[in-house]
Amino acid sequence: MSPGLISIQTSTVSHLPCQQRPFLTKFPQPGFFHYPAFSPSVITTAEDTKWPLTVAEFFTITAIPVAAPNYTAPVLMMTASHDSIFCGGNCTGIVDGPYSVSKSLFPKSKSWETYMQPETGHGMNLHFNASGWYEVVNEWVGREVV
Contact 83, 95 (CB under 8 A): no
Paired residues of 115 in beta bridges: 78
Using CA atoms in the order 12, 25, 86, 75, what is the torsion angle rounded to 10 degrees?
Answer: 80
pLDDT digits (tens, 9 = 90+) for 85-101: 888 889 898 888 887 87
Instruction: Return the domain boundaries, the chain.
Output: 10-63, 75-144
The whole-number pLDDT of residue 64 equals: 67
Contacts of 42 (CB under 8 A, 6+ apart): 33, 126
CA atoms lying within 13 Å on the CB side of residue 50: 20
The whole-number pLDDT of residue 6 equals: 36
pTM above 0.75, yes or no: no
pLDDT digits (tens, 9 = 90+) for 54-89: 777 667 766 666 788 999 999 999 999 998 888 888
